[in-house]
Amino acid sequence: MHSFWLRANAVLTFSVIILAFTCAMASVSDCFNSPSPSAQIQITNINWFQKQRNGNEEVSLAMNITADLQSLFTWNTKQVFVFVAAEYKTPKNAVNQVSLWDAIIPAKEQSKFRVQTVNKYRFIDQGSNLRGKDLNLTLHWHVMPKAGMMFADKLVIPGYRLPKEYR
Amino acid sequence: MGWIGDTVDSIKSIQVRQLLTQGVSLGMIVTSALIIWKALMCFTGSESPVVVVLSGSMEPGFKRGDILFLHMSNDPIRTGEIVVFNVDGREIPIVHRVIKVHERQETEEVEVLTKGDNNYGDDRLLYAQGQLWLQRHHIMGRAVGFLPYVGWVTIIMTEKPIIKVFSAFVDGPSLSLVTVDDEN
């Protein structure tokens, strides 16, 4: 009853159980973190605003994004995926969310940042509803842990408006 | 060495009854793994509650060999969620992040575009010919939890099936993991 394989089996099973328990505890420790991130987004320029041949409108804009996401990091955080999405309604679509820019923040030191950028992904509507459209620019963050449950949240910044005319 | 001699002796003295008992215990292990798998499917509402990451398209967040826990609910699909979807014609599901959502007014139809964090472009290249958006029925679940490295067991077992057979006889209880793979 004490062969090599049985002992190896016992050690392996025990270590797997302990590891699973440690990962669960690591994940639970994330619940005790109450984050308070802050952010500001400014649209500095509408570079161009055109209607494509297939009838869909497209906007290219430049933004200043300032954020402080330090409070999101715990010892169990591997990285924070942050992105800015434009959200708006149209007569055809109740919800439109278009991601304009994203970044991966691997460590707490880089989570307080200021970025000036053009939209990384094309902002194309399904149709031509964007003239004079009111938008929310929402900063979303997705915390990816070293082990355990991932969680995501967002900060909605309303009050942006696209120009009434093409340019 | 002593244990080689022991193993040879035990093989010499195998009886039919012992062999049948082993066969039945193997069957029990496989069926209990299946029961756990089906129960997880029921509990999470997803067709494959656990997936193994096979490619580096979501690095540095998810590396090859990591395990993702999925959950499917009827909540609307929104940007930022990491979803697992099947493209028509491909058998292996893909785990990427939603970057665009367009949801219709009256019906709950939604059109979604995804992209891997580590990929340069969006997933339109991966969708079926002529397909520009994913619909709700393509999506099998959202990733809610994550465990690093554990998926290597499945990768090794699928790439070298002989290990699966070997491990069931030697070390059944600790190594009968059943998971589904994912790609890209």
Model ipTM? 0.85
Q: What is the mean pLDDT of residues B109-113?
A: 90
Most A CBs within 10 Å, among B53, B71, B102, B118, to test the A interface = B102
Cβ-based neighbour number of residue A75 at 10 Å: 10
Distance (Å, rounded) from C-alpha A93 to C-alpha A9? 57
Q: Which of the residues B46, B123, B138, B182 is marked catalytic? A: B123
Rg (chain B; Cα; Å)? 21
**Residue-level pLDDT at A84:** 92
Interchain CB contact of A99 with B (< 8 Å): yes
Per-residue pLDDT band at A1 (split at 50, 70, 90) = low
Q: Quick one: pLDDT at residue B166?
A: 61
Q: Which residue has the higher pLDDT, B43 or A50?
A: A50
Of B48, B96, B176, B182, the catalytic one is B96
Where does the pLDDT of residue B1 fall: very low under 50, low under 70, confident under 90, or very high at 90 and above?
low
Report which of A162, A165, A129, A135 is spatially closest to residue A56, judged by C-alpha positions: A129
- Tell whether the model's pLDDT for residue B178 goes beyond 60: no
Structure tokens given for B17:
């009854």
Residue A28 Rama label (left phi>0; alpha psi -120 to 50; beta): alpha
Query: Where residue B179 falls among pLDDT bands split at 50, 70, 90?
Result: very low
Q: What is the pLDDT at residue A164?
A: 86
Nearest CA in chain B to A140: B80
d(Cα B65, Cα B147) in Å, to the nearest integer?
A: 9
Q: Which residues contact B60 (CB under 8 A, 6 or more apart)?
A: A78, A79, A104, A106, B118
- In the residue annotation, B123 being an active-site residue is answered as yes
* Lookup: tokens for B4: 């080689």
In the prediction, which pLDDT does A150 show?
87
Question: Which of B5-19, B31-45, B99-113, B165-179 shows the lowest per-residue confidence on average (mean pLDDT)?
Answer: B165-179
Q: What pLDDT, on a 0 to 100 scale, did the predictor assign at position A82?
A: 92
Residue of B nearest to A99 (CA): B99
| Pairing label, strands A123-124, A134-145 | unpaired
Residue B171's pLDDT band, with cuts at 50, 70 and 90, is very low
Beta-carbon separation of B104 and A94 below 8 A: yes
B6: annotated active-site residue: no
B13 is catalytic: no
pLDDT at residue B170 is higher than 80? no
Q: Is residue B180 very low, low, confident or very high in pLDDT (cuts 50, 70, 90)? A: very low
Structure tokens at A88: 């708006």
Tell me how many residue pairs between chain A and chain B have CB atoms under 8 A apart.
97
- How many angstroms separate the CA of residue B105 from the nearest CA in chain A? 4
Q: What is the mean pLDDT of chain B?
A: 80
Beta strands in chain A (DSSP E): 38-51, 57-68, 77-88, 93-105, 112-118, 123-124, 134-145, 148-149, 151-161
